[in-house]
Structure 1
Amino acid sequence: MIRSTRSRKALTASAALALSFSLAACSAANESSASADESATSEATGAVKGAGASSMEKAQNEWMAKFTDEAPDATVEYAPDGSGTGREKFINGAVDFAGSDSAMEKEELTTASEKGCTGETIQFPVYVSPIAVAYNLEGVDELNLSPQVIADIFAGKITKWNDPEIAKDNRDADLPDTKITPVNRSDESGTSKNFSAYLSEAAPKRWKHEPDDVWPVKGGEAAKGTSGVVDTIGAGEGNIGYADASQIGELTAAKITAGDDFIEYSPDAAAQVLESAERSNASSKTDYAVTLDRGNAGDGVYPVVLVSYAIACTEYDDPETASTVKAYLEYAVSEEGQKAAEEAAGSAPLSETATKNATDALGQIATE
């Protein structure tokens, strides 16, 4: 087991997480509070392992490359096995840190402390990105979809692309009489949970399933990981699915209802949905999970988003491991790290407040 007996240290991270994510949040104050400690980064040594959300794969690859450029004696591995697998590996002590598109629940946090996690478990947003509703339909280069229609498509109630419910929002499109094949994740996925949460909040009369990492509907096609979903959508005429927008490649994404209009995804539009986010457990000093209001997105707000979390422990068996985990995650939330993720994956940089909370939390990792 990577981590040892726990010793509970209280985190002194700021109690409030006022998540106001903005693409303009790269101020001088942010730089001073969010930049990774250059000395700690350059002196990091040894190998650490992480696993989790495949949606973060591009960002993690970029972070690993840039971090190890600055810390040539350190090795960081990240397996994009899916959020559920990443959390399970972390709970059991098989990896040193995890990434997840859905926050760890109270029961998971408790189990981690009982089994694999030394000290306390910390989790905080590290990556924010729009989820694209991508489709493969020849001759249809632009498509408007309401949450009600998306819900009926993925529930298997709308089965043809020229269905009147789709046609009424796409009067200029030549919609064919082609079968719709929904594509979902086959593995436990935080992207699935975020997408189904959007449907349950934005179309509660059409979508009767509780948000879950396990996709609740049978009958479409299922594929493992973000890349698997993207490949499957692209492989069949009439296919439609959901995936982190940074990874859909040449696929076309639908415009989604935002207030009184339909809008394309963008990091800026996705970030705005977090302005009304509240902490799920405001009294916790270690848990920075947030609750989004996807059902009441206003004009210009892209409501289908995922918030990915970094998960780590406050203590590790090996001080070298602790130092490298801390330095790596500090780099990820730094201004430089967030800019790297934005360029590689189209994500929205963290705000000054969110970055400070993450940095304060990481400051509790014992390195001696």
Structure 2
Amino acid sequence: MSTFSRLTRATVALGLVAVALVASGCAGAGARTINGSGATFPKLFYEEAIAELEEVNDEIVVNYNAVGSGQGKKDLSAGTVDWAGSDSLVKDDEVSNFDRPFLYFPSVAAPITVSYNLPGVEGLRLSQDTLGSIFMGEIERWDDAAIATDNPDLELPSTPLTVAVRSDGSGTTSNFTKYLERAAPEVFTVTAGDTVAWPRAQAARGNAGVAHLIQDTPGAIGYVDYSDAKPSGLALASVRNRSGNYVAPSLEAASAALAGAELNDDLTYDPLDADGPEAYPITAPTYILVYETYPEDSTVENLKVWLRWVLGEGQDVAAVVDFARLPTNVLEPAQAQIDRIQVG
């Protein structure tokens, strides 16, 4: 079956999530269905993985509603889904929202691109401070001296610059702003998080929404996950990394950023602003969040099937939809953690 057919089939399945939730009364009530919601960043990967799984296992239905990391975490804590997709971690003051312990399962990783719409300008390069100044709203035109300094070989127009950002609670926003906090601390002074008080920006919902906003706005620049930015045809900037090299977003550059990632005890890790001459500096992880215990045996078994697939054969199809597979030092502990999910 073609990738297009798989994605079409998965999209149809996604449209059934609301019906499944109403019919079951609560997530996990059916023996064959598990429902998830959350990040738009890994949406295409989960759609592909779901379609591939259902081709070889007709005894399980996995639904995923891409509504943003913030909403996914809220849905899991409210008990309306069985699992959540999130690119950001649960904050300390949010842990009490969950009625029992939960687990992080890394799934894939990918670049967060700096996408722009500037006809006639290709090969844009941006240093850390210039990028921070743009998203602080301090740079208003494309021929600003800071951008010109980063791009001495480009002829930059005086086109007004429009900053495009997310309107919804977003792990992509969290990771992008965490990067700017770390890489340009003297310039970028906004507090990082799923939602941000941007000084001057236009907002759209979801990664796809930001991509469309940039497409429709000459002079726009924004942050978009690689899997949405690449097929949109948007120009992608190269960003200067810790080694001083300007690196374009790619799966290879994302894998270079993952190579040195240190895994925490809870299986979270941080590839942002990674060392390495070939590392793309805005490489973000994404996670599947599940509870350690569920009341129904069917939910536990179906979640284990889903997680074993994502962390097994699913890794082999990640690149098909522009995601980087997990390195062995992250993948193997995640696989071993699956057995911690129990009935209780």
Matched, 1:351 2:327: yes
Local SS of the residue matching 1:55: coil
When the two structures are aligned, how many residues end up with a matched partner?
316
> How big is the shift at 1:270?
1.7
Q: Could you list the runs of 5+ residues in structure 2 that have no partner in the other structure?
A: 1-24
| Residue 58 of structure 2, aligned match among 65, 72, 77 | 72
Local SS of the residue matching 1:54: coil
What are the residue-to-residue correspondences of 1:121-160 with 2, within 5 Å? 121-160=102-141
What are the residue-to-residue correspondences of 1:1-368 with 2, within 5 Å? 2=26, 46-112=32-98, 114=99, 117=100, 120-248=101-229, 249-258=232-241, 259-280=243-264, 282=265, 287-292=266-271, 294=273, 297-334=275-312, 336-344=313-321, 346-366=322-342
d(CA) in 1 for partners of 2:300, 2:244: 49
Amino acid at match of 2:247: I
Moved over 6 A (4+): none
Local SS of the residue matching 1:127: strand
Q: CA RMSD in A?
A: 2.0
Local SS of the residue matching 1:270: helix
Amino acid at match of 1:358: A
d(CA) in 2 for partners of 1:164, 1:191: 28
d(CA) in 1 for partners of 2:256, 2:123: 23
Local SS of the residue matching 1:182: strand
C-alpha spacing 1:337/1:293, structure 2 compared with 1 (3 Å): closer
Amino acid at match of 1:48: I
Q: Please tell me whether the aligned partners of residues 333 and 355 of structure 1 are also in contact (alpha carbons under 8 angstroms).
A: yes
Larger relative contact order (CA 8 Å, sep ≥ 6): 1
Q: Could you list the runs of 5+ residues in structure 1 that have no partner in the other structure?
A: 5-43
Amino acid at match of 2:339: G
Deviations 1:306-332 (A, max 9, x none): 110111122222211211111011101
- Scaled by the length of structure 2, the TM-score of the pair is 0.87
d(CA) in 1 for partners of 2:31, 2:331: 24
Local SS of the residue matching 2:41: helix
Amino acid at match of 1:289: T
d(CA) in 2 for partners of 1:203, 1:342: 31
Amino acid at match of 1:298: G
Q: Please tell me whether the aligned partners of residues 52 and 100 of structure 1 are also in contact (alpha carbons under 8 angstroms).
A: yes
Deviations 1:22-55 (A, max 9, x none): xxxxxxxxxxxxxxxxxxxxxx951110001101
> How big is the shift at 1:279?
4.1
Q: Please tell me whether the aligned partners of residues 185 and 222 of structure 1 are also in contact (alpha carbons under 8 angstroms).
A: yes
d(CA) in 2 for partners of 1:178, 1:313: 50
Q: Please tell me whether the aligned partners of residues 58 and 341 of structure 1 are also in contact (alpha carbons under 8 angstroms).
A: no
Moved more, 150-159 or 165-174: 165-174
- Scaled by the length of structure 1, the TM-score of the pair is 0.81
Q: Percent identity?
A: 31
> How big is the shift at 1:205?
0.7
